[in-house]
Copies of this chain bind each other. A is one copy, B any other.
Amino acid sequence: MAASAPIRKTIYLGSFVHSVTLADLEICEKGAIGVDEQGVIRFVEKNTSPKETLQKHPEWKDAHTIHVSDGFFFPGFIDTHTHAPQHPNTGLFGKTTLLDWLETYTFPLEASFSDTKKASRIYENFVSRTLSHGTTTAAYFATRHVEATNLLADICLARGQRALVGRVCMDRLSPEYYRDESIEAAVRDSRACIEYARSIDERGEIVRPIVTPRFAPSCTAPCLKELGTLAKETDAFIQTHVSENTSECDLVREWFPESESYTHVYDDASLLTPKTILAHAIHLSDKERKLVRDRGSKISHCPASNTALTSGCCPVRELLNEGITIGLGTDVSGGFSPSILEEARHAIWTSRFVAMASPEAAAATLNNAAKLSTAEALYLATRGGAAVVGLEDKVGGFDVGKEFDAQMIRLGRVPEEGDKEGLFGEEGAGGPVDVFGFESLEEKVEKWVYSGDDRNCAAVWVRGRLVHNNARYKA
């Protein structure tokens, strides 16, 4: 499974499913995807057979083949916002909201990453988890520790998971034991992590650095400005949080009286660029949305976290209609799941709550336009996310010229005789989805979206290289 292992020219045979546009999910029953030794998709055939495929592509006759018979290939998921060090706190939030949650749960745990042995255990585990859920690319917040942050970059590279790895900067708000001691130190340490990531993966094929001010309340205006300069100098991506919680918004208004809005705080520090990922963006004004759009910055929608911390419902359909680029983020551990599939479900639920909470609630329940469809949620999870992390030309769908980042989804089938002695003749074979045999492929996709989990993710590839397989797929 090492990321550096050579790969064979391979034809992936069977059904495949991917988003073509926001609204259109292409569902192809009998497909063939040819992937070369560099992991690049060289052909995509639809309504074909293995024989026809080879007739059309005779030079692939010695290629390795991988079939999926009880499921389909799907593009790898892209997690545009998550906090790897918070993984051990997953599910721990009680009734807290953002600011007391940070104080109670988050800062003490993150601070402990000065211990690299602990960091290693948690990061190895989290990368295993996200890969097992089909996440082929993740934008990670690490901690403020250079050594542990570099360790996360090493682990992603070794495991072959595409990652943006960010050392978190903060020169106020957090407790003294977990704060950059000066702006200079924040910039110096961030630069060290940028240089390290580029030293281990020069062309940024798997791992790239990302400048990461935690969020405005954690950084003074001069600190933000210096980080803006650093991002420009190093031509790096930027990630931060914006407008997650109304108390946080109040705080920003109070602490940045010179800025026109929360979003303007970042713009004033040259942190709002086409390479900027803004997490949450729930309570933005029209003017702020326009600013985000004008700057070409991207939004990471994190509905599970927003619900868990009672932050609010991001009106994602409106933002999409306005032309803003959006992906999904698990936001562990504000979010309670490392799965982008779960996040896609929550994006759908949140869009329904937005519809139900509108002044014309009764009408809205019948207003399909207000709801995110299954296809749209899957788009956000793949092509939308790819555009957020600047990989829209490389991943997100099965197009010739793109790299093969994919999952094999297997669904199993309920035995004809039922399950008289418990589930699954072949142990654990079925996973959580029950397929009875009457379902169209489209319906199987719906079943997977609404009741599937990591058990259905049999294997995961990044650039054509196998990076994860579960017990149901022997590589």
Query: Which residues does A use to contact B, with CB under 8 Å?
Result: 1, 87-88, 90-95, 97, 120-125, 128-129, 131-132, 245-247, 307-308, 310-313, 336-337, 349, 352-353, 355-357, 361-362, 364-366, 368, 371, 373-374, 414-423, 427-428, 432-434, 436, 438, 443, 446-451, 453-454, 468-469, 471
The reply to whether A418 and B310 form a contact with Cβ atoms under 8 Å apart is no
A364 CB → nearest B CB, Å: 8
Tell me whether B418 and A123 are in contact (CB under 8 A).
yes
A307 to B307, CA, bound (A): 13
Residues B366 and A447 in contact, CB atoms below 8 Å apart: no
Report the bound CA distance from A218 to B247 in whole Å: 48
Closest to A127 in B: B419
Q: Which residue of the partner chain B has the closest CB to A444?
A: B91
Query: Is there an interface contact between B419 and A310, defined as CB atoms closer than 8 Å?
Result: no
Residues of B contacting A355 in the complex (Cβ-Cβ under 8 angstroms) = 310
Measured CA separation A444–B434 after assembly (Å): 29
Cα distance, A423 to B133, chains bound together (Å): 11
| A434: B residues at CB distance < 8 A | 87-88, 90, 125, 129
Assembled-state Cα–Cα distance A374/B93 (Å): 10
Shortest Cβ distance from residue A269 to the other chain B in the assembled complex, whole angstroms: 27
For A353, the chain B residues whose CB sits under 8 A away are 307, 313, 353, 356-357
Among candidates B87, B95, B124, B357, residue contacting A368 with C-beta atoms closer than 8 Å: B95
- In the complex, how many angstroms separate the beta carbon of A363 from the nearest chain B beta carbon? 9
Nearest residue, chain B, Cβ from A336:
B450
CA distance A469 to B421 in the complex (A): 10
Across the two chains, which residue of chain B brings its CB closest to A121? B418
In the assembled complex, which residues on chain B have CB atoms less than 8 Å from the CB atom of A122? Answer: 418, 436
Q: Is the CB of B91 within 8 A of A449?
A: yes
Residue of B at shortest CB range from A422? B128
Question: What is the minimal beta-carbon distance from A317 to any residue of chain B, in angstroms?
Answer: 13
Residue from A124, A246, A361 with most neighbouring chain B CB atoms (10 Å):
A124
Find chain B residues with CB under 8 A from A436 CB.
88, 121-122
* A453 in contact with B427 (CB, 8 Å): no
A313 contacts which chain B residues (CB < 8 A)?
353, 356
Q: Are A419 and B128 in contact (CB under 8 A)?
A: yes
Given contacts A312-B365, A366-B247, A368-B95, contact A90 B421 (CB under 8 A): no
Measured CA separation A427–B422 after assembly (Å): 20
Closest residue of B by beta carbon distance from A355 = B310
Q: Which 10 A-B residue pairs are closest in the complex by CB-CB distance?
A: A124-B418, A91-B450, A357-B357, A128-B419, A91-B447, A336-B450, A121-B418, A246-B362, A95-B368, A310-B365
Closest to A423 in B: B128
A428 is contacted by which of B131, B365, B428 (Cβ under 8 Å)?
A: B428
Evaluate contact between B352 and A310: CB separation under 8 angstroms: yes
- Is A92's CB under 8 angstroms from B310's CB? no
Contact A453-B428, Cβ < 8 Å, known A1-B421, A356-B310, A357-B353: no
